[in-house]
Structure 1
């Protein structure tokens, strides 16, 4: 087979390709970063970070750049590809990310933090920073995690069930306003037709997932795989017997959890108990 011909010489990695295209378009137009910022109304440092790959920005930036450069839809499409590109995750998570994106349904149990699919940007930032992520890597990881939330949006979004240990809801963020935003996000998510959210009260009996966060993915070929995670490592489990044992533990936890309706009321009471913000 003849070697693959490289036509453009640019990166085949979506995130890097997006940055390269932005830089090439600006250079061809003869604009400085300052001029581009003045034309579009954003700080020039944003475009510098976009072109270096330090951040992806938001869809509104990609759309504005498409209009400015006369490339309708091109940059927005590249942005979407970069946002969902599993190569931006650490190697140990990449296969799991690929399977997650193709799953027909998902079941999850959270020991201490909400699932990444339901985290707000502020929550993700504080959590990842606490884990030691450096500033440059932190921005990339936040972009990637927020991008994953799109999996649950749209008419063809897969069913998603999450059981949250009450401990998840008892460990607030440093900023009360950001913590309120996270609780509100969970409450809103629980109202979606494809999301089932349950709370496992702290007074529940000991169970087989007491120290293990787990996600089950039912794949299109009928298989179910599991991904377990703790503070130090994650493990993708594909052996059917091992997955079955984990599912039995999960079923026991689900039997002890509050119903979805009771869980919504539980989160609602937590929101009511939050201290009021000082009047301005």
Structure 2
């Protein structure tokens, strides 16, 4: 009787996968795969792009650039950018600041951490601003505040709704008090927008923190956030040390803020454009807006 058939029964299978060599890792083209910050799973970059930069495994909403956000949100081909010539200076002569600005300009192909302009969503004309976390972590300097304030003024003149996507680490430390002044300037501009009865929709994305969350990002007539977005002013550890209390696990998340009344709704990225179009349809007075 032959016993070769029993060999496979006692064969020891490997428990662990072989780790690829350093050379094999280097052979993978840069940017071909994306690792999710939340679940750690790897996905092809093309699949992530098709899924609007949302992880297909855990539904984590990844950061998107301002050009990508505009493509996702506005009707195709309907965008005119404002104030492309505004560039930050170095008012406090902060060491290395100019070099960092130039580096970010080269990396992002942007002049600043916000893009403003006008376009249409579902056929409705809007003035829109999109902050870009790739540029100085979306921090709010003088130019960021000026561009947002000017965009609000354009919305007042044109009687267009204003929509702003926030993504920021807060005020820009290299500009000191000049950066903090943008909180008051943008808030004052929004007060004028409100007096004119013009709609402002604020969309808070991950992260929206510091002076941005404490000013224009929280002043929308309708405040929307993407799922699980980090939204808050001071850091969690600082708050716990100050109040000497343990904070809830979901503290400073979009879901926590919705539950406590600071947000009006949480909208998945794939539904964002349709939701904005519905809100614009509800609030627009047909025949009075320019172009209708």
In the superposition, the TM-score normalised over structure 1's length comes to: 0.25
- Larger radius of gyration, structure 1 or 2? 2
Hey, which of these two has a bigger chunk of strand by percent?
Answer: 2
Hey, which of these two has a bigger chunk of helix by percent?
Answer: 1
